[in-house]
Every structure is written in structure tokens, then in C-alpha cells.
Amino acid sequence: MLAAILSSPGNIELREIGNPRPSEGDLLIKIKTSLTCGTDLKAFLRGHSLIPMPGPFGHEFSGIVIDKGKGVRKFRIGDPVMAVHSAPCLDCDYCRKGLFNLCCNIMSTKVLGAFAQYILLPRHIVSQNAFIKPGWVSFSEAAFLEPLACVVHGMEPLSIGKDDTVFIIGAGPIGLLHLLLAKSRGARVLITGLEEERLKTARSMGADLAFEPSRAVGYVRDFTGGMGADFVFECTGQPAIWESSVGYVRKGGTVVLFGGCKPGSKVKFNAARLHYDEITVKGTFHFTPGDVKKAMLLLKGGKIRVKKLISGTYALKDIGVAFQKLMKGEGIKYVIVP
Ligand SMILES: [Zn+2]
Ligand SMILES: [Zn+2]
């Protein structure tokens, strides 16, 4: 089969590699669509600790079952599938505590290689995080299951409602998914980003205000009557922005740090904000099978309209063009079709 291999930062090679074969419990999926993601872009630009190089590339996908290992009952050959690329081991100390996203093995047993003709889903993913895709969800929409599950993980426990103001820092694909989810809860949403094109998209998705970063302090203050936002979501992964994000939240509010900073990064926060203002600052990483189910139901129920995040479609052989565009800040997510 044809597969995109990220050989070094900036270099994607298309290679003919052997077709994977399903063992007991596995599913072999013929990819219908895969999606580019911010993590892929990071890896393409500067390498990524969780994406070995040279190696298979891409982790957001949907497709059709074309072969299965012994013992798979949930799926038949020909079934359309929506799935994610990881699942917890259910056996480590963290899994026993129910902290499935922090499973000791979840990263080492994940599958990469969605930018290819086929992907092999191992048994632990098939049994926990793979579902039959209904006909009314397109393959492109279904491929949003993974990024949406990440966003659900950070946002779902926060009981955001219609009386809340949410401020999202970063209008990339993840920031925009936060926007969609917060709007689906009825919140007022402010969002900031660098590219006018993305701010336009944010407005068309229901953002109450979308503006460039230099206006953030004034706009958040005025919009909230000087109080500050109830919730702030940091979706850029830059230490300086992590630090400034605590300045936008009201007393007792919550800042969620979604964007991962480079390894070794350090940040400082004003202690008075954490102590006297009782703000909560929390990280969020990956997702649990519960989050994946919630994301699946949101996509199935049409509650989250992800289509506007798709900026174009490229054949697998032209995947390099999609990444060149993303590098220049053009577009949000691209569909890659093998
Ligand atoms: Zn992703
Ligand atoms: Zn585990």
C-alpha cells in the first residue's frame, strides 16, 4: 500500500509498504479520509516527541472495514467506521484509578499512519474506541472524532452554560472546535487569533466577538463588564500566552491550558490570582473512552457542525502541498484522500 512517511522535519515521502494483516481482535481499515492536525504540523515543522521519525504519519481518519482478525464481532467487512488512534490498557495504575487518558501505555500503543491507504487498528482500540459510522455523518466529519474527543475532555467537566462567557485564545482547528462546543452549550464566546481568515470562520461559526490578540485585554474587559471571562481556553501552546491567559479570567474562574508547550518550557503565574482570586489553572491532555463516546454522540447528533473547519481536499500524493499551506497559516484543516 501507499503510505506517507515523515522522514525528517519538512520532508514527507510517499512509500510503497507492505499491507498490514489483522491478528486476533484487529480491524484492517481502508482509509476514506484523513485530516491534517496541529500536532502533525508541529511534527512536520520541528519534530515531536510522540511522533517518531522516520515513521508513519497522521492520526485522524475514517474508513471502511476490509479485513478483520478472529474474534471481532462488533464489525463486519464493509462497515463504515469512525475511530480514534489510541485506547488505554485498562491494566496500569492510572487505568485502575479511572484516569484513562493518563494510562502509562496509551501513547506507546497508539497507531500512527492515517495518511495511507490502510490502517490497522489493534484489538484494544477496536474494543474501546471504534464505532460504526452512520450514513448521515460523512467520512470527513467522522474523522473529527479524535480532535473533538480531546476538546470534550477539557471542556465537558466544566459545566459551561448560557450564563457564561468563554474566552478562547487561538483560532486554529482546536480553538475553533472549542468555539463550536462552547456555543452548543449556549455560552457567549470570544475568540482571538492572528489570521483574519480564521477570525472570519470563527464569526461564521457563531463567535460573539472574534479579534486580533492586541485587542484582547480591552475586549474581554468590556464584554464582561470588567469582571473577566468565566472560562479561558489556551489553544496556542506558547509559554508567554499561557502566562497571559490567567489575566483574562474572573475571580473563581477556570483557565484550561490545552496547547502543549515545547518540552522543558517553564511558566510563571501571579500567585495572588491563584490564592486571593481562587482561579483554577488546569492542563488537559488527550481523552478517555468516555470522551470519545461523547464526541461520537455529538457528531452523530449533528450538534457540532465541523464542516467549516475543512479548507480543502488533497490526494495522498499531494499531501506535501497541504502541509506547505498549513505552514504559511493558510487554511484550517485539510482532508487527505488516498
Ligand atoms: Zn489530532
Ligand atoms: Zn493503562
Query: 236 C-alpha vs ligand 1 centroid, how far in Å?
Result: 14
Query: 86 C-alpha vs ligand 2 centroid, how far in Å?
Result: 11
Task: Answer yes or no: is pLDDT of 49 > 90.
Answer: no
Query: 205 C-alpha vs ligand 1 centroid, how far in Å?
Result: 20
Are β-strands 130-132 and 118-121 bridged in parallel, bridged antiparallel, or unpaired? unpaired
Query: 308 C-alpha vs ligand 2 centroid, how far in Å?
Result: 35
Query: 31 C-alpha vs ligand 2 centroid, how far in Å?
Result: 27
List the Cα angle 197/200/201 in 5-degree steps: 90
Task: Answer yes or no: is pLDDT of 121 > 90.
Answer: yes
Task: Answer yes or no: is pLDDT of 61 > 90.
Answer: yes
In 3D space, the residue among 83, 122, 143 whose CA is nearest the CA of residue 289 turns out to be 83
Q: 313 falls in which pLDDT band (50, 70, 90)?
A: very high
Q: What is the number of the ligand closest to the CA of 88? A: 2
**pLDDT at res. 50:** 85
Query: 71 C-alpha vs ligand 1 centroid, how far in Å?
Result: 29
Q: What is the C-alpha to C-alpha distance for residues 165 and 179, in angstroms, rounded to an integer? A: 11
**pLDDT at res. 47:** 87
Query: 150 C-alpha vs ligand 1 centroid, how far in Å?
Result: 8
Query: 97 C-alpha vs ligand 2 centroid, how far in Å?
Result: 9
Q: Which of 40-49, 103-112, 246-255, 308-317 has the lowest mean pLDDT?
A: 40-49
Query: 39 C-alpha vs ligand 1 centroid, how far in Å?
Result: 6
Share of the chain above pLDDT 90, in %: 96
**pLDDT at res. 267:** 97
Task: Answer yes or no: is pLDDT of 133 > 90.
Answer: yes
3-state secondary structure the chain: CEEEEEEECCEEEEEECCCCCCCCCCEEEEEEEEECCHHHHHHHHHCECCECCCEECCCEEEEEEEEECCCCCCCCCCCEEEECCCCCCCCCHHHHCCCHHHCCCCCCCCCCCCCECEEEECHHHHHHHEEECCCCCCHHHHCCHHHHHHHHHHHHHHCCCCCCEEEEECCCHHHHHHHHHHHHCCCEEEEECCCHHHHHHHHHCCCCEEECHHHHHHHHHHHCCCCCEEEEEECCCCHHHHHHHHHHEEEEEEEEECCCCCCCCCCCCCHHHHHCCCCEEEECCCCCHHHHHHHHHHHHCCCCCCHHHEEEEEEHHHHHHHHHHHHCCCCCEEEEEC
**pLDDT at res. 88:** 98
Q: 48 falls in which pLDDT band (50, 70, 90)?
A: confident
**pLDDT at res. 149:** 98
Query: 165 C-alpha vs ligand 2 centroid, how far in Å?
Result: 36
Query: 84 C-alpha vs ligand 2 centroid, how far in Å?
Result: 16
What number is the average pLDDT over the span 165-173? 97
What number is the average pLDDT over the span 299-309? 94
Task: Answer yes or no: is pLDDT of 33 > 90.
Answer: yes
Per residue in 80-96, pLDDT (tens digit) is 999 999 999 999 999 99
Instruction: Encode 281-302: b = buried (16+ Cβ within 10 Å), e = exposed.
Output: beebebbbbebbbbbbebbbee
Q: What is the number of the ligand closest to the CA of 103? A: 2
Query: 285 C-alpha vs ligand 2 centroid, how far in Å?
Result: 15
Q: What is the number of the ligand closest to the CA of 97? A: 2
Query: 157 C-alpha vs ligand 1 centroid, how far in Å?
Result: 21
